[in-house]
Chain A
């Protein structure tokens, strides 16, 4: 995310536990409102950032005490989100291959799980996952204000 348009940064470091993911959504709501995102765009980003945090909570650490960093890169009409853990057991490559929804599947073929990355891709403008064995996983996402994107055309 080397974007010259980025003006400010907010960082949040939380225990990699499910009970803290709602704090990420609250913070996101505050920041995205300030930038001028509409309700629907904020709801989209809430899901995307939570899915990334859920993965850190569920897969990154084998023991308690792990942390997850969330960086909000505030642009004038876009928001960058980076979700970073220092865990070792994340199956990023495996997980990101499941980028399909359940549209063409029958009920017997559908299995719970595997939708997190699919939703991130569907809800954000850009998603990038970098996972380094033994050093953790970083998910970088970006969303632009729709109204602004349309004006650019």
Chain B
């Protein structure tokens, strides 16, 4: 087994932007991820979705970034969805209480 290097794959269809997160979203990946997301998050004209199907790990740093995104999008009344949450990630979302702030488009 090897380390699960963090990566993002972007799918854009008009104003609909889906970001697929891959690998481990940990402290080491958090700076890169935050910078990548910032222009997308602050553009309230798009419909932003995170696809977590290939996310292998998340910690409180990653969860902190997600809640920051939720707050910015809510303040701007801009759509933000989180989809395909793996079970071990869902467990952490439920444990921390972030689940109630996340919406799925499906």
Chain A residues close to B by CB (< 8 Å): 18-19, 21-23, 25-26, 29, 40, 43, 46-47, 50-51, 54, 57-58, 101-105, 107-108, 110, 112-113, 115-116, 118-119, 122-123
Question: B76 at the A/B interface (Cβ < 8 Å)?
Answer: no
> How distant is the Cα of A22 from the Cα of B60 in the complex, in angstroms?
15
| Prevailing SS type, chain A contact patch | helix
Question: B45 at the A/B interface (Cβ < 8 Å)?
Answer: no
Q: Choose, from B7-15, B36-44, B46-54, B65-73, the stretch at the interface.
A: B65-73
> Contact check: which of B59, B91, B96, B97 meets A50 at CB < 8 Å?
B59
| Prevailing SS type, chain B contact patch | helix
Residues of A close to B88: CB separation below 8 A? 40, 43
Given contacts A18-B28, A50-B59, A115-B60, contact A107 B71 (CB under 8 A): yes
Given contacts A102-B98, A112-B68, contact A54 B92 (CB under 8 A): no
Question: B81 at the A/B interface (Cβ < 8 Å)?
Answer: no
Chain B residues close to A by CB (< 8 Å): 1, 3-4, 24, 26-28, 30, 57, 59-61, 63-65, 67-68, 70-71, 74, 88, 91-92, 95-98, 100-101
Chain A residue nearest in CB terms to B86: A43
Chain B nearest Cβ from A28, distance in angstroms: 12
> How distant is the Cα of A110 from the Cα of B67 in the complex, in angstroms?
8
Residues of B close to A110: CB separation below 8 A? 67, 71, 101
Chain B nearest Cβ from A115, distance in angstroms: 4
Tell me whether B70 and A102 are in contact (CB under 8 A).
no
Tell me whether B1 and A22 are in contact (CB under 8 A).
no
Residues of A close to B95: CB separation below 8 A? 101, 119, 122-123
